[in-house]
Amino acid sequence: MIHVSVVIREVGPDELPRYATIPMCLTVNSVFRVQGIAAGLGGLALVEEPVDHPYGKCYDSGELEDSEVLDWSRQFDVSHSGFFVALDGDRPIGGAAVAIDTPAVHMLENRPDLAVLWDIRVHPDWWRRGIGSRLFRMAADWARGHDCVQLKIETQNINVPACRFYRSQGCELGGIHRFFYAGIPLVAHEVALFWYLQL
């Protein structure tokens, strides 16, 4: 159900402290296990399976060096980024961030025609109400308006709901990196999944 009373607007980096008040957490009930066929020569398959003990994950916990919203402006040139906030009255309930043409953002692959959906989040009280889809469309439209031909998104095999969401938005799984987080002990067991939307 889409709530038309919720307003989504583009904001500047000065509003990132408000953006940061929106939690980005999930409960991991299942994962996509990566199954290599012939040690990968025959391809890779994703097999969903439940976890023995469901657990919580918060993306703003500092596990990754660029995960905390309040650090973005210090770590990156955000002058080529678009920030969007969904508001229920004055209360921020969702947000999205998209970046282009920022050399320090390695996910951009030095491509001027590629945008990265750096972050998208919706407060749990507002899940499954169409807010995420509206934010995603606004981010994609922003990237298209900046002459990008693809939108790239990174998620992990432990975030099954996000994978299903990106697929529902028309994205294609374009890359599986089994060892992307190998040097980060807290998340070394996770697999990076890269999704692409043709704009």
Q: Predicted confidence band at 179 (pLDDT cuts at 50, 70, 90)?
A: very high
Residue 63 contacts residue 187 (beta carbons within 8 Å): yes
Average of per-residue pLDDT values in the chain: 91
Q: Which CATH class is domain 7-24+65-198?
A: alpha beta
Q: Tell me the whole-structure pTM to 2 decimals.
A: 0.91
Residue ranges covered by each domain of the chain: 7-24+65-198
pLDDT of residue 67: 58
Share of the chain above pLDDT 90, in %: 77
- Whether 63 shows a pLDDT value over 60: the answer reads no
